[in-house]
Structure formats: C-alpha cells, structure tokens
Chain A
C-alpha cells in the first residue's frame, strides 16, 4: 500500500492484474496492523475488478473481513459504462441500519430505575434466535408494506408522519416490486416485522456525554445529559433470502455477461440487465422491509417509555433524530472526471453522509448536513456526525458505519473466559440484557476496534464533522 497522507492509503492498480481502479483505504498508522491482519485489503482489491467501477474501490476505517466486499466497503459503478450491481456489495442484511431517537429525559431521570426500564424494553422487544414479532401481515398487506416502507408502518399506527422526514429516503425506495421477490423470502419474513434479531443488533438507552459542536448540537436538539435511544436492525430473514436468491442468479449469469470476478461472493450483473433489474426491484423491497421494521421497533420503544414514565411519547419529546442505512445500493448523482453522473453507489457497512445543501436532505437538515449515526460497541460510545462537501468530492458522500470488529467471535469467547462481561459492564453502570450469555461475550468491547479512533480518522480525513457522543446506559441484544 502506498501512503497518501496520515489517513489515506492507496492500493495501486499494479497490485493485482484485473483491477480497473485503484483501492483507497482510510486508516491511521495505529490501526493499519489490524487491517493487514485479516484479508480485507485483498477484498478491496477484488472489488476493483467490478465492471463499470469508477474512481476507487474504497474502504472506511472500520474495515474488516467480509464476503466478497469487505465490511466498510464503498464502490460506485456507472450504469452507462456497463456498470454492475452486486448483491454481495449490499450484503445479506439489506438496509441494516441505525436510528437515533431523542427524549427530553435526563440521565438522572432514568438512572434510579434503569434496570427496570431495560427489563421492560427486553420484555417488549422481540429479539434473539427464533423470536417472532407481533405484527402479522397477510400476503396483500405484506406487498403493500414492501412498496411503502416506513410510511406503511406510520399509516398502521407505528409512529407519526414526522418520522418519515427524518429517515433516509423518507423510509422508502421507489421501484420496489413485490413480484420480484421469491416465495421463500416471503416465508422467512412472515413473522419478523418488529423483531430486532441477533448478532450485533441492539436497542440501547444512552446519555449524551459530550458535545463537540454546540451550534450543530443545538440544531439537532441535543445537550449533555440528555437521554437518547438507538436502534440497530435490518431486513431480517426477508432480506437475507433476497440476497441469497439474487447472488445465485448473478452467479449463474456471470458467463452470459462475460464477467470474471476473483471471488464468487462478488457475483454481479449489469445494472440494466434483467438480473440486475430483478435484484434492484427485490432489494428495494427488502430495504423498505428494514425501514418498516425499525419504525415498528421504535414504536415499541416509545410504548415502553410511555408506560414506564406515564407520559405520552410526544410529551417525552421522543422525536426521531434520523435513520440511516449502512448496507444498501442507491442511485445518486456524483461528479466523475468533472462530469455529473448518475451512479450506483454500493455501501457495504458504510453510511451515506450528505453535505449541507444537498437537495435530498429534508428542510430541517439543509443547513446542518445529514446526521450520520455511528454506533460503537456496548461498552463504549456512539457518535453523531454530519456529512461534508469533502465526502461528496471524495467518497461519493460516504462515511464509516461503526467500530468494526477486530476479534473473531471464538477469540472473543476465549478472551471472556473466567470473567463476566455482563458484571464488568454493570460495574461501569451499563445494564445489558441478552437472550444469549455467549452473545454478550462475543459482542464485548475488546472484540471491536476503538470507535474513538475510527471516528477520528473520518474527521481528520474531512469526511464528517463530530457533533455529539452518546454513552450507553442500558443495552438489549438478541
């Protein structure tokens, strides 16, 4: 790798025969060994093979080993230059994402009854292996939900109209075609709307513990000591099945389009091909499923707070600050070689980060830039950032998506042997409730890179501005 500056590295075209563009990795010297330790840089180079890719195959500082694409990968293709869409460039959990909900409560309001509050959330929010949700839809209703996303949830009592404005793409991608989805995806998604899932998904009660930009924080309605709620989930079994089906279709079509990829997980099809169109139509359904899911999960959280504090969600100031997708492909206009082009931007473990003034932003965030929500691990902080013009120029308006894993699950379990992660977190004032004890050990802080260092890299690279930092108080996990 060639060092460009303190936070930018390049994988030159000469690294591997077949690369169409160089690789660009955002990382500092300190975290470089962690990246070099796994196979993620090889994956950055492999993504550069995709037909129609423009500028760079990029990786954010939370990069780690994925399948085909690295987690933290960003790649834009030009559909007019035979650019492809890759289901692996979006991932299995289509529109996995994060939302941040404000309250007007203070940490001291929740601290005395924190265990009870976290327990109420844990009882109310279905999470973990094999847990069903309460929202049951017949096929006709499901199709409507897949077309409408968050708006479907709001129309059915899960939230308010104002939530839509504060959701990326208003919680709905146009062009979702329920006919493009397999029977299996319908079956896998049937009882999963309003469920959190497992793995790294969570619902967290937090307190704002540091403000970096008072002016922006005020515009977002955040102050030190304020309680927030963060939700991390995606399209559940529905999205996983859409990815599996589409990956198989793309794999079988590689020969038809004379596409050669170094890893079968990078199977792809031209955006304008029947396979590409079919995937896009199905992926948009899954994206809309995920937005409806996070909307239902937020409605459950609001209900718990209402019961718990005997006040309405409105009275508790439980407004959605923003919702971002971090596994998705979107069509966006970006400048390439001085020309505006409509590109297919794949973000696989990366967050969109629009600068102030971007026409896609809602009126309330026109001056601030897009809120960029970066969850940390359950023992450290999460961040609220905003997008910048530099990100628009350099990374197709993309930023990191989290801390990024540094340790495998088995290594994390070994590291946790002989001590209780749950107890250690409790000693630090963080209540964790999970269906699986092992799950807590696997998700411990030590298994992740330091979120502070990851965020510093994107800030130093000028891809985002820091607004505020939230500290976990209570976490529920699958």
Chain B
C-alpha cells in the first residue's frame, strides 16, 4: 500500500509514501477518497464518462502545496461531490500544481459512505524527503 491509516483518538490520518512528488500526491488523494468512500467499488460501479476537474495553484514549498492539494480535494468533494479517479498533471513542482483530473460524482444513495471529513489539520502535518522518495503524514478532522 502506498499509504496507511494512522490513529488519532477521535479522528483519522494517513501516512503516505511516493517515489516522487507526483506519486505522493496521487497516493494522498487515493487515501483521502478511500476514507470518504470505497474507491474500488466506485470505479467499478461508474466506469465513465467522468466530469473534468481543473486545479491550478502555487505555494512557497512542497509541504504547503500538499496541504493546499488536500484542501482542494476536500472542497471539490464537499461542494461538487467530486471524487477524483484519473490524474493528469500538466505541472507538478514543489511550488506549482497544474492538473486536469477526471472525477465521479458521489451519490450517497448509490455509493458507500465512510467518513465525513471536516478538515485537513496542521496537527503533525509534514512532508519530508526520504532516501527513496517522499513521505507525508496528515490528520483529518472527522
């Protein structure tokens, strides 16, 4: 698994690994959406066509960029019920993210409900370079 669920007394978190930033950002997104719903079941039940989600933003460093990414995923899910299933990064550097993604519209009457994520917290949040790529940890308020 490119990520694992970590424990927090009332909430839940992810520890994520990626051989490069792109893998890490995708793994973090897959982990995030799997906390919200069953991503495999969703992909099986809705083979397409998907709707497009576009994101463009920049930050001062890779850690802030990851925080921003997770906040964007949460916003896309909360407001448009978008679950990203295909990722096409036009640019992903430690400071810039440009992406066109394909997404499935989550429908609570058809899809598995897991957790309602309220927020991406700064609690213990970090992104570090390790010997074989990148590692991040994040706790979600649920």
Residues A410 and B10 in contact in the complex (CB < 8 Å), given A130-B108, A265-B123, A436-B113: no
- Looking at the complex, which one of B78, B108, B113 makes contact with A188 (CB distance below 8 Å)? B78
Considering only CB atoms, which chain A residue lies closest to B125 in the complex?
Answer: A264
Stretch in B1-9, B86-94, B127-135 touching the partner: B1-9
Size of chain B's interface in residues, with CB distance under 8 A? 32
CB pair B108 A187 closer than 8 Å: no
Taking CB atoms, residues of chain A closer than 8 Å to B114 are: 129, 436, 438
- Candidates B12, B79, B119; contact of A410 at CB < 8 Å: B12
- CB of A67 within 8 Å of the partner chain: yes
The answer, yes or no, to whether B139 is at the interface (CB within 8 Å) is: yes
* Given A129-B36, A198-B115, A199-B116, A68 and B7 contact (CB-CB distance below 8 Å): no
Cβ B113 vs Cβ A129 within 8 A? yes
> Counting CB contacts under 8 A, is B19 at the interface?
no
Chain B neighbourhood of A199, CB < 8 A: 115-116, 118, 142
Q: Which residues of the partner chain B approach A263 to less than 8 Å between Cβ atoms?
A: 123
A433 vs chain B, min Cβ distance (A): 13
Query: Are the C-beta atoms of B116 and A197 separated by less than 8 Å?
Result: yes
- B122/A67 in contact, CB under 8 A: yes
**Which size bracket describes the interface of A in this complex?**
35 or more
Check B69 for interface membership: any CB of A closer than 8 A. Answer: no
Residue A36 is within 8 A (CB to CB) of chain B in the complex: no
* Nearest B-chain residue to A192, judged by Cβ: B78
User: Interface residues, chain B, CB within 8 Å of chain A?
Assistant: 5, 7-12, 36-37, 71, 75, 77-79, 81, 106-108, 113-116, 118-123, 125, 139, 141-142
8 A-B pairs, CB-CB below 8 angstroms? A64-B9, A65-B9, A92-B118, A92-B141, A130-B77, A188-B78, A199-B116, A408-B10
Known A-B contacts: A199-B115, A237-B118. Give 13 more (CB < 8 A).
A67-B141, A71-B10, A92-B121, A128-B116, A129-B108, A129-B113, A130-B113, A198-B142, A199-B118, A408-B8, A409-B10, A409-B142, A410-B12
Could you list which residues of chain A lie within 8 angstroms of chain B, going by C-beta atoms?
A: 38, 40, 64-68, 71, 92-93, 128-131, 184, 187-188, 190, 197-200, 237, 240, 243-244, 247, 251, 263-265, 405-411, 435-436, 438-439, 478
